[in-house]
Amino acid sequence: MKTNVLLWRNGWLDRGLASAALFLIAFLHENVALPAADADPGAKAGEAQTHSEARKPAVRVLILKGTYADYPSAPEMDPMSLLLGGLERPGSFFGLCEKIDELAGNDQIQHILFDLSSPTLRLNLAQLSELSRHIHKLRGAHKRTFAWLENAGTIHYAIASGCDTIFMTDLGSLDLPSLSLMTLHFRDAMDLLGARASFVRTGDFKGAVEPFTLSEMSQQLRAHYAEMIGAMNGALVDQICEGRKLNREQFRKIQSDRLFTPAAAREAKLVDEVVPFGTSRESVAKLIGQAVTWVEPQKTKPKQLSFFELIGKIMAGAQEKRANKPAVAVLHLDGQILDGEREMPEMLVSGPTVKAIEELASDDTVQAVVARINSPGGSATASEAIRAALEKLARKKPTVISMGSLAASGGYWISCVGRPVYAEPETLTGSIGVFALKLSFGPFLKKIGLKLESVKLDESAGAMGIDRVWTSAEQERMQRLVEDIYDKFLKLVADSRKLKVEQVSPIAGGRVWSGAQAQKLGLVDKLGGLDDALAAVAHEAALEPGYQVIHRPQKKNFFELFDLFGESTDEIRSSLDPTAKKWLRAAGFDLSVPLNLVRESISGRPPKVWLLAPTGMVIR
């Protein structure tokens, strides 16, 4: 039977996108089932072990693969993935950490095997530091840990280095380069298109401006980045060396050589055993020295839903986990910071964020809050709106700041609430600087035969026109505005960090620092992750062990964010990544920041002051 679904928009039939979306979902529904959820790992009596099996040592297998997000945006099911033809979604990083902690306290499990064979495994450096501490808890609980490597890179090996024994297949390879940094510069492309940039900034290290104004990185910024990368690489090397009992000089030589065969890796004491491909379980059992019971999560059978049940489930979104006892809330502040009243995918919009903070302040079950920041910054006004709400929350409840992989510029601004700040050694933070940027496309319009005519009473009325750059007088006025915001930024940091402005100024100017550097400079208090921040704030709130941890705000799915019956069709279409953009994102380059700067430049709105870290930066 054929079913026609009609969606009405403003009284007129808009079949295009809505019908296509529903058709795709219906088509995919006929070919896929909902993802099955893992049962509680190692639950109770060892997950359906028989009585005879229970006498054998139990080995829990943990397979790490894909990308892990601090707070995945679609806990239940990602409709965007459906529309793009796939069902993959990021795993929950903190869910993984909780799983490992549960295993540390599970007396039924004696051994853990980390299967690190997946080439898709991705963690950022801050997550890597945090994960290593959770693996260390397993060893502290006298659990024997094993790692299995095939074609491994630095991320795979850094995880494996925390285990007691590393196995590597004889058909594999080990690639251990030192960290490097890459940035995208747009200046030459802008010249080809006929686009020009007007800008003002504070300090010589505001790398967010350089990609639009220079064809290559300035020497002063290159030297600063080299120092920062050196500090981050040093922290990573120390982590690996601690697990493998190597010294830093040895491992820096290993990084210089970079590529190792399995035999060479064994000779360099990077791995313990080289074994035939596909023998991970046999190798572990042989080393244990007796028959073992393999413990794996039980999977529920996929539930087949009708088309309308599937649509209802997607439209309803995920159910918010409510606190049923005293709780600590982890407030996730993720994405570029923008002004607005409506949530946007992968953005931190001021209106909804302030509302979420106010809800935490009024929730009596929430006794304390950890603000987890993963943001390159953004709008100055939006950053201040969020910071002010956090400061008000901190006056009412114990609050601690935890920085993830990136908490820079506006991301650092919102951390300035006079409360303890935790960062990982590899966190990118600082970038205390301000700029204003406007892109104009006059030569490009001329190339394609378009001429923009305007009628205005004075020249300044056209300052934000897309056809011209700022005049020298406009540039001077914007410079004064930017310097005013920068002075406020310096004072805000000084007051929050209990420093003098004269102490902050030399480490500001747009400089980006690693977490380890920032801690030495007094920009953060302690090195540690979310686990350390949770422990600190729970102690301050005098919470008993066993307190509940909840994550806020609830993230909406694709269909909740965009009203199919409203004015959001263009926004939905813009969310479907063009091929080139998808390729760049796969390579690690997130173009959301420069694209938003372009959008603001052609919007015709008043000029905006930005607190943004360098864009298009990839560290690997």
Dist. CA 231–CA 527, nearest whole Å: 14
Band (pLDDT 50/70/90 cuts) for residue 43 is very low
CA 46 from chain center: how many Å? 34
Dist. CA 396–CA 367, nearest whole Å: 10
The answer on pLDDT for 28 being more than 80 is: no
Which residue in 431, 388, 380, 389 sits closest to 407, CA to CA? 431
Per the structure block, which two tokens stand in for 261?
A: 């065969």
Weakest mean pLDDT among 146-155, 262-271, 416-425, 473-482: 473-482
Weakest mean pLDDT among 337-341, 457-461, 500-504, 600-604: 600-604
The answer on pLDDT for 456 being more than 50 is: yes
Instruction: Supply the pLDDT for residue 435.
Output: 80
Per the structure block, which two tokens stand in for 260?
A: 């190792």
Which residue in 580, 588, 583 sits closest to 616, CA to CA? 588
Dist. CA 340–CA 378, nearest whole Å: 12
The type of residue at 126 is: A
The answer on pLDDT for 178 being more than 70 is: yes
**Looking at per-residue confidence, does 409 or 301 come out higher?**
409
Stretch 173-177: mean pLDDT: 93
DSSP 511: -
Stretch 342-364: mean pLDDT: 92
Band (pLDDT 50/70/90 cuts) for residue 146 is very high
Q: Give the 3-state secondary structure of residue 430.
A: strand
Domain ranges of the chain: 12-197+212-295, 319-556+577-619
The answer on pLDDT for 302 being more than 70 is: no
* pLDDT averaged over every residue in the chain: 80
**Looking at per-residue confidence, does 606 or 468 come out higher?**
468
Most trustworthy range by pLDDT among 404-408, 588-592, 610-614 = 404-408
- 355-412 confidence digits (pLDDT tens): 999 999 999 999 999 999 999 999 899 999 999 999 999 999 999 999 999 999 999 9
319-556+577-619 belongs to CATH 3.30.470.20: no
Fold that domain 12-197+212-295 belongs to in CATH = 2-enoyl-CoA Hydratase; Chain A, domain 1 (3.90.226)
Stretch 538-553: mean pLDDT: 92
- 235-294 confidence digits (pLDDT tens): 999 999 999 999 999 999 999 998 999 999 999 999 999 999 999 999 999 999 999 999
| 3-class secondary structure per residue, 1-70 | CCCCCCCEECCEECCHHHHHHHHHHHHHHCCCCCCCCECCCCCCCCCCCCHHHHCCCEEEEEECCCEEEC
Stretch 57-69: mean pLDDT: 93
Q: Examine domains 12-197+212-295 and 319-556+577-619 and report if their fold is the same.
A: yes
Contact 550, 333 (CB under 8 A): no
- Dihedral, CA of residue 495, residue 497, residue 500 and residue 506, to nearest 10: -120
Instruction: Supply the pLDDT for residue 482.
Output: 85
Instruction: Supply the pLDDT for residue 38.
Output: 43
The answer on pLDDT for 323 being more than 80 is: no
Contact 89, 142 (CB under 8 A): no
Instruction: Supply the pLDDT for residue 245.
Output: 92
Band (pLDDT 50/70/90 cuts) for residue 7 is very low
Per the structure block, which two tokens stand in for 18?
A: 């809505």
- 548-585 confidence digits (pLDDT tens): 999 999 766 544 444 444 444 444 444 444 544 554 55
Weakest mean pLDDT among 163-172, 183-192, 449-458, 484-493: 449-458
Span between the terminal Cα atoms of the chain, in Å: 52
Instruction: Supply the pLDDT for residue 202.
Output: 76
Instruction: Supply the pLDDT for residue 477.
Output: 84
